[in-house]
Amino acid sequence: MKIVVYAISKNEEKFVDRWYQSMKEADEIYVLDTGSTDNTVEKLQSNGVHVISEIINPWRFDVARNKSLSYVPLDTDICVCTDLDEVLLPGWRKTLEEKWENMSTRASYTYHWKLDENDVPIISFYISKIHARKNYLWTHPVHEVLTYIGSEKEITQVIDDIVVHHYPDDQKSRSSYLPLLELSVQEDPTDDRNMHYLGREYMYYGYYEKAIYTLQNHLKLEKAKWKDERCASMRFIARCYLRQGNYEEAKKWATKAIEEAPYLRDPYMEKAMISYQEKDWQSVITLCLQALPIDENKKSYINESFCRDFSIYDTLSIAFYYVGLYEFSYFSIQKALKISPQDSRLLKNLKFIEEKRK
């Protein structure tokens, strides 16, 4: 079985060695470099990677991905698309060879998108960028999607034991994302995924009216049926209203989010954050306690990190403190510190709580 890794790169020299070490189980590795001005190309080549340099203008992620895929030899059995800020855990090739089913055209696997300082996953979901060489095409200018274009039925499978860790470069600019998302929605205004992403991006930029309008449009789309994503759009609408100081609309949309997906922690915590701003401590406690029993390991990119790190216990400890339930506050801060033992603010809060317990 011939297995080939392919990727795109630009100014990734600090990731090259780590990335190569995790990818070298492949038979060959191809990288399309789109204009690095550092030592990315030289470092890749020194590791034996096939590097092709080409400027993509105007920039689109799907065009770059398709260019990189075009260099993968046609006799390849399985393609593995990754980014240089990702790491495939050792033994992935053996697992892939053992578990790849003869008729499969594509595999989903475990992606730890966000990890804590000890590499414990905070947000995980499935991605599906392992695929057959033929009949696949990348689409959309940003948040690109691997699309099956074959005439026969696509056959997919899940391989949980293949695991990717993501170590993003937080200094890297996202400035191209907004115009590319706007372009993507212009190209296909019926695409629910990118309409949701565009609304979210407007929220990140503080364009709250645009975000609310776009996210409400997402909810009206015929294709917008996935409750997790619908719930997220409702949460983001609530967040936009909150940042505008409109607490009533914020609470209304957070409640809608809970009703849409009551099996997720995230909408309860979204509403808890609104109650926190209002200093409605009893509601904060109620909502956090409703969120806590919900499975925190659901694999979805929709998950919010503040629902799965120390934040829920931190929030509870503060709410319990202000209603005078100091023992419960102490218990909650201890749980938070177990997750994040070096957090200076949590340690300071612990001292305040201990004083009240005396």
Which residues are within 8 A (CB) of 78 and not within 5 positions of it... i.e. 6 or more apart? 1, 2, 3, 4, 96, 100, 130, 131, 132, 133
Q: How confident is the model at residue 76 (pLDDT cuts 50, 70, 90)?
A: very high
pLDDT at 41: 98
Average pLDDT, the chain: 95
**123/38 same-domain check:** yes
Cβ neighbourhood burial of 33 (10 Å; 0-12, 13-18, 19+): buried
Q: What is the pLDDT of residue 171?
A: 79
188 and 262 together in one domain: yes
pLDDT, tens digit (0-9, with 9 covering 90-100), for 294-343: 976 666 777 788 888 899 999 999 999 999 999 999 999 999 999 999 99
What's 64's domain CATH number? 3.90.550.10
Is 253 part of any domain?
A: yes
**266 and 190, same structural domain?**
yes
Q: What integer pLDDT is reported at residue 175 of this predicted model?
A: 81
User: Do residue 35 and residue 133 come from a single domain?
Assistant: yes
pTM across the whole model: 0.89
| Direct distance between the N- and C-terminal alpha carbons of the chain, in angstroms, rounded to an integer | 68
Both tokens assigned to 180: 């590319």
Looking at the fold, whether 231 and 113 belong to one and the same domain comes out as no
Q: How confident is the model at residue 96 (pLDDT cuts 50, 70, 90)?
A: very high
Domain coverage including residue 32: 3-166
- Strand spans (E) along the chain: 3-9, 28-33, 50-53, 78-81, 86-88, 106-115, 121-132, 136-139, 145-148, 156-166
Whether residue 57 lies inside any domain: the answer is yes
Give the pLDDT mean for 110-135.
92
Out of 78-82, 102-106, 301-305, least confident range: 301-305
Burial of 7 (0-12, 13-18, 19+ CB in 10 A): buried
Q: What is the pLDDT of residues 139-172, one digit of tens each?
A: 999 999 999 999 999 999 999 999 999 999 887 7
Q: Which residue among 248, 278, 308 closes a domain?
A: 278
For the residues 263-269, what does the mean pLDDT come to? 95
pLDDT of residue 13: 96
pLDDT of residue 176: 87
Q: Are residues 154 and 12 in the same domain?
A: yes
The DSSP result for 52-80, as a single string, is EE---SS--HHHHHHHHHHTS-TT-SEEE
Say what the pLDDT of residue 274 is. 98
Residues 110, 115, 118: CA angle, nearest 5 degrees: 120
Residues 148 and 81 in one domain: yes
Domain final position from 222, 244, 278? 278
**199-204 average pLDDT score:** 97
pLDDT at site 296: 62
Same-domain check for residues 218 and 151: no
Same domain, 214 and 103: no
- Is 298 inside any structural domain? no
Bridge-based pairing state of the strands 78-81 and 121-132: antiparallel
Domain boundary among the residues 107, 138, 166 is at 166
Whether 345 has a pLDDT exceeding 70, the answer reads: yes
Query: At 191, which CATH number?
Result: 1.25.40.10
Structural domain count of the chain: 2
Same domain, 190 and 244: yes
Residues 231 and 143 reside in one and the same domain: no
Q: Residue 322 domain-assigned?
A: no
